[in-house]
Amino acid sequence: MRSSPISCSSWIFSAALASCLSLSAAQTGSPRRILGADDSTHRLAILSADGKVEWELPVGAIHDAHVLPNGNILTQQGWQRVVEVDRDKKVVWEYDAGKRNGNEGKRVEVHAFQRVANDLTMIVESGPSRIIEVDRKGGIHREIPLKVNHPSAHSDTRLARKLPNGHYLVAHESDGAVREYDRRGRVVWEYEVPLFGKERKPGHGPEAFGNSVFSAARLPNGNTLIGGGNGHCVLEVNRGKEIVWKIEQNDLPGITLAWVTRVERLPNGNTLIGNCHAGPENPQFIEVTREKKVVWTFKDFERFGNSMPVQQALGDS
């Protein structure tokens, strides 16, 4: 049966509409609220489970952000300025790493920060290669030197977190290593992310390859969960530095991993994975079971884009 010009046009319109809708917010599995940030669209936003924007803020370069217990957002505006912003988008606290505490005139970048005990803020400085904890006035209460084998103000560090025991777990991108530091700055555990016999390839997308690690999280069992950056992988490593669980680039059906950013182990044993620079064919945020079954995904190439390194699942309110 021959299609009429009208039905053909309708089909083309429907296909075009479907293509456009595929770039909009979409979740598979049980929907959830998320915090996300993308420096290609210059947007930091909280989206409700039904995809509505609850709150958003224009941003520049960004690798980290947190929703604080008081509801404010701890984020960054560029590589040097860390800010706390309330829900009215008013800056209630800020710290400029390029203008304080001996950094004047030096090249410094911040890729990780965290609000810690006693209302202090942990700031990780690439370039000076140190962790500092500062008070509301910007005064340093603690300083921890970092071990860096391949110094780079842009890539000494990526994400870092203070652990419940007072130690610091740091992803060193340029070194391809995760290091745990005690309160004196001594390295008490270290893991070099392997290349698995592959050659390095430049770039940020699925075609690239390396061991530019992006994140690490300490699990309750003492193991360390690692976001493998341009290694396109997630690794769980025990204290003896053995890989006990791994997801590789093409392990998830229909999904290609590119630059793996944040990783989180949920109480139910599943793992959340940030998937950056993977292109609009792939989700930016994924939940998988221990058996590597995909149970939830998030994809939004309308409000976010292909450079979305910040992803966090939030509670209901």
Instruction: Give the residue among 92, 71, 95 at the shortest CA–CA distance from 82.
Output: 95
Provide the pairing of β-strand 109-115 with 91-96: unpaired
Residue 292 located in a structural domain: yes
- Res 176: pLDDT: 98
Residue 253 located in a structural domain: yes
- Res 317: pLDDT: 58
- Res 285: pLDDT: 98
* CB burial readout 122-151, b (16+ within 10 A) else e: bbbbbbbbbbbbbeeebeeeeebebbbeee
Residue 268 located in a structural domain: yes
pTM score, two decimals?
0.91
Residue 190 located in a structural domain: yes
Residue 11 located in a structural domain: no
Instruction: Give the residue among 138, 145, 143 at the shortest CA–CA distance from 120.
Output: 138
The range of the structural domain enclosing residue 231 comes to 31-313
- Res 315: pLDDT: 82
Residue 8 located in a structural domain: no
Q: Based on the structure, what is the number of domains in the chain?
A: 1
Give the domain CATH number at 60: 2.130.10.10
Residue 13 located in a structural domain: no
- Res 1: pLDDT: 37
- Coil, helix or strand at residue 110: strand
**Which regions of the chain are under pLDDT 50?**
1-23
The pLDDT tens digits for 244-300 are 999 999 999 999 999 999 999 999 999 999 999 999 999 999 999 999 999 999 999
Residue 286 located in a structural domain: yes
